[in-house]
Amino acid sequence: MPLSAPDRIAADRLTPRATALWRALQPLKTVVGFLNSGAHPDDETSTMLAVLAFRDGINLSYVCANRGEGGQNDIGTEMTEDLGTVRTAEMERAADVLDMRLYWLSETPEDRIFDFGFSKSGVETMAKWGRDRTLARLVDVVRIERPDILCPTFLNIPGQHGHHRAMTEAAHLVMDLAADTGFAGSRLPAWQVSKLYLPAWSGAGGAYDDEVPPPPATVIVPGTGTEEISGWPWARIGQQSRWFHKTQGMGHWVAPGTEKDYPLHLADSRVGPDSSSITDNLPLRLADLNAALAPVDAQIDTAIGAFPNRAAVMAAALAAYQALASAHAKSDPRQTRKLAQLARVIRLASGAEVRGWLADDVLEPGQGTTTVLESRAPDDAAMVVSWLLPKGWKQREDRVHVATDAAPSDPYPPVHDPLHPAAPALAVEVAGAQGVIALEQSPLVLPRVRAALTPDAAVVNLSSSRAAITVMTSGLTAGTPAFDLPQGWTQFWEGGSAILTPPDDLAPGLITLPLTLDGHPAQTVRRFHYPHIAPRLRSFPATLRLRALHVTLPDARIGYIGGGNDRVAHWLRAIGCDVTEMDAAALASPAPFAPFDTVLIGVFAIRTRPDLRARLADLHAWVKAGGTLSTLYHRPWDMWDPGAVPPARLEIGQPSLRWRVTDENAVVTHLAPAHPILNGPNPIGPDDWAGWHKERGLYFAKSWDPAYTALLEMADPDEAPHQGALLSADIGAGRHTHCALILHHQMEKLTPGAFRLMANMLTPR
């Protein structure tokens, strides 16, 4: 399907042809390759990269360890692999702004190189990722990309994220490993990176707290100044890229005069010291690789100098393309890249315009669909447009057919290259110069045997009478559905719904129930539609995850005020709680809290719900009159005013590295073992702290009013203990409890203790 007219107009307005051509000309200036490395999507040094790309003409690439599965989510409720799918798409869009190739160490959602959560140790990170696999993947990327320069974004120092530390350590090691012909982890031709730079600035901030100063600067990349064609400051272009990391709340306005430079430290050089620039002692032009290519450099210089005369730009670029095509060494990716860059310049300068898409944007294996092209050929050059299709796809006139054995769309593509988009794509040849452009919207390919389950995760509260589970199926392909059930279970199907009845003696535990269609394992599909990214799809086994557990419910009418970043209300209803979600209309009523015994404020809701902020005085009065209030974790910048948001002063600590416990198995000590929240209606004991996922919590309270009692103490290894994870205060006749434990995440992972502790927090005083 094409973009809508408003979306197409907006994209057209943001990328004028003149700007696109000017930016396409810049990487022709040099053959220097700069590989930035980081652990997560959004770790790239966006403003510095904008300078290097669009001022200096350096060819950019970025290698990212994982897909950011352990991050927070500012725009939705996706987490782990689902969040990784969205963040992969965000990183691709961010890379497009910088004309930057993108590589990943993590190849699948099941990869060991996973964002398992915040880590304070590079050693721990390498152990979980697998040291050999991490280094082998990074060596492969370096040998494919063949950069001259490698530059991690962060330092390997205490106070940094362990994932960052691991990637910086790996960068040091890869300087030798990628060049070692005897390295057993890669079969690709060896490559020697010429220079390794480290940031000569502190990485401390809202999350991190570097314990040692950065190394001295040996060279400065100026970050001030503006782009010639647009007049935008480099920092603003950097933020235009970072804006796509919306799940992480990225993208901020850079006020004039606040731009900064980027000092770098030359940590390792195989070509000698710098004098003034990161490109010192490196081959800069094609002629530095092969003296016979000097005429190509001359034509490139002519093309760059001819801007904005498009006809003159095209003539010189075409001459350069033809000369390089007849002489270039196919084994040299720098020369091959120059051909692709020249082809793009020729297409843009010629005035050619091509857009393509498929009539169906969601496809089945074996399905046929119509191809659609919009094009305008240049006046004085021949243009040929053809379809590039994935392996096994067939084309006949204006229709293509998906391969019958086509795999589902990959949520974790291993490479993203703006010059070589993945098929299906369009090959556009102008005056004999061929390049590749992406479709307006890439189609999503579904798995052949599939079914959607609602729900796909459930709980059975053995303390209530709700034992049977109803599961609805939708989107079934042909076949009779059935669950593969353990002994003693029964299933009854009617109208696409199954009623699953466990045995009377069902014991607490986690049960996995796969769905089959005619005996074949089914896949389920999740699609992700956000306006800032292309639609994405993740498919995985259609399985019902079910947790049987004992939770005694609070005798309470609960009002839930969510911020759109958790599904706590869903899980409370699943165990049998009486929950009402309070929308804007409910909060606008004369006495919004009066119908409830307990009010629960969800993750980030103080920031995302201005209607809630407007009623804080009423909420405080309701608490003093006897109401029970619980707040889930917030960050300091979520408009959490320590003296105004909670009923009594409560300050959240930052940087977050200092106010979190990342070890999900950290010992938890009960500081107030007789406190009601630790005793009823569910006695909280050691079993409730077992089986946690990712971490204990973050953004713990730093200081608080004496009215609050610290209920828990915990610590990461070799660190002082924290007492700000769970605080409770009697306020008048009521109570406020603030919880910085990630209970919302644990509930999604069906961790029993999270349900039991949440039930206690919601029990009226």
Residue position matching structure tokens 């603030």: 738
* Comparison of pLDDT for 10 and 186, the residue scoring more: 186
- Name which of 510, 515, 526 is nearest 459 in CA terms: 510
Cα distance between residue 56 and residue 20, in whole Å:
16
Cα atoms in the Cβ-side hemisphere of radius 13 Å centred on 303: 33
Dihedral sign for Cα 708, 712, 716, 721, please.
Answer: positive
What's the pLDDT score for residue 460? 94
How many CB atoms lie under 10 A from the CB of residue 648? 18
Mean pLDDT computed over every residue of the chain: 95
User: Exposed (0-12), middle (13-18) or buried (19+): which is 445, by Cβ within 10 Å?
Assistant: buried
Indicate if the pLDDT at residue 559 is higher than 80. yes
Task: Map 667-712 to HEC letters.
Answer: CCEECCCCCHHHCCCCCCCHHHHCCCCCCCEECCEEEECCCEEECE
Cα distance between residue 38 and residue 186, in whole Å:
21
Cα distance between residue 692 and residue 694, in whole Å:
7
**Three-state DSSP class for 137?**
helix
How sure is the predictor about 466, in pLDDT bands with cuts at 50, 70 and 90?
low
The set of residues, in sequence order, having a beta carbon less than 8 Å from that of 303 and lying 6+ positions away, is 25, 28, 312, 313, 316, 317, 320, 345
Cα distance between residue 173 and residue 166, in whole Å:
11
Distance of CA 506 to the CA centre of its chain: 39
DSSP string, 222-260: ---SB-TTT--BHHHHHHHHHTT-GGGT------TT---
Angle between helices 752-761 and 568-575 (to 10 degrees): 90
DSSP state of 721: P
What's the pLDDT score for residue 478? 84
* Rounded (5°) CA angle 109-114-116: 120
pLDDT in tens, 193-204: 999 999 999 998
Indicate if the pLDDT at residue 130 is higher than 70. yes
Helical ranges in 281-332 per DSSP H: 286-289, 294-306, 310-327
What's the pLDDT score for residue 222? 94
DSSP string, 510-579: EEEEEEEETTEEPEEEEEE--TTS--EEEEEE-EEEEEEE--PPPSSEEEEE--SS--HHHHHHHHT-EE
Indicate if the pLDDT at residue 754 is higher than 90. yes
CA dihedral 372, 378, 382, 386 (to 10 degrees): -20
pLDDT in tens, 253-288: 999 999 999 999 999 999 999 999 999 999 999 999
Q: Residue 1 is encoded by which pair of tokens?
A: 């399907």
The CA distances from residue 205 to 161, 208, 209, 279, 476, in Å, are 12, 5, 6, 30, 49
The set of residues, in sequence order, having a beta carbon less than 8 Å from that of 117 and lying 6+ positions away, is 70, 662, 664, 694, 695
State the architecture of 32-282 in CATH terms.
3-Layer(aba) Sandwich (3.40)
User: Exposed (0-12), middle (13-18) or buried (19+): which is 393, by Cβ within 10 Å?
Assistant: middle
Cα distance between residue 624 and residue 616, in whole Å:
12
Backbone angles phi, psi at 76, to 5 degrees: -170, -165
Indicate if the pLDDT at residue 1 is higher than 80. no
pLDDT in tens, 291-334: 999 999 999 999 999 999 999 999 999 999 999 999 877 788 99
Q: Which helix (H) or strand (E) holds 168?
A: helix 162-177
The set of residues, in sequence order, having a beta carbon less than 8 Å from that of 677 and lying 6+ positions away, is 684, 711, 726, 728, 737, 757, 760, 761, 763
- Name which of 733, 739, 732 is nearest 761 in CA terms: 739
Question: Quick check: 22 and 49 in contact, CB under 8 A?
Answer: no
* Rounded (5°) CA angle 547-553-557: 125
Cα distance between residue 186 and residue 174, in whole Å:
12
Cα distance between residue 361 and residue 1, in whole Å:
5
Q: Residue 362 is encoded by which pair of tokens?
A: 């969601």
Residue 265 identity (one-letter amino acid): H
Going from N- to C-terminal start, the domains of the chain cover: 17-29+287-345, 32-282, 352-446, 452-549, 557-761
Indicate if the pLDDT at residue 366 is higher than 90. yes
**Three-state DSSP class for 460?**
strand
Examine domains 32-282 and 557-761 and report if their fold is the same: yes
State the architecture of 557-761 in CATH terms.
3-Layer(aba) Sandwich (3.40)
Question: Quick check: 695 and 742 in contact, CB under 8 A?
Answer: yes
Across-strand partners of 516?
A: 482, 521
Mean pLDDT across 244-250: 96
Q: Which helix (H) or strand (E) holds 731?
A: strand 726-731
Question: Quick check: 528 and 570 in contact, CB under 8 A?
Answer: no
Cα distance between residue 426 and residue 429, in whole Å:
10
**Three-state DSSP class for 36?**
strand
Angle between helices 294-306 and 310-327 (to 10 degrees): 160
How sure is the predictor about 495, in pLDDT bands with cuts at 50, 70 and 90?
confident
Helical ranges in 307-458 per DSSP H: 310-327, 333-350
Fold classification of 452-549 (topology level): Immunoglobulin-like (2.60.40)
Question: Quick check: 376 and 367 in contact, CB under 8 A?
Answer: no
Indicate if the pLDDT at residue 14 is higher than 70. yes
DSSP state of 722: B
Indicate if the pLDDT at residue 617 is higher than 80. yes
Mean pLDDT across 334-355: 96
For the chain, how many residues are written?
765
Indicate if the pLDDT at residue 704 is higher than 90. yes
Residue position matching structure tokens 């052949």: 448
Cα distance between residue 282 and residue 98, in whole Å:
22
Percent of the chain with pLDDT over 70: 100
What's the pLDDT score for residue 449? 93
Cα distance between residue 102 and residue 106, in whole Å:
12
How many CB atoms lie under 10 A from the CB of residue 135? 22
Q: Residue 365 is encoded by which pair of tokens?
A: 């294996």
DSSP state of 28: G
Q: Residue 69 is encoded by which pair of tokens?
A: 């599965």
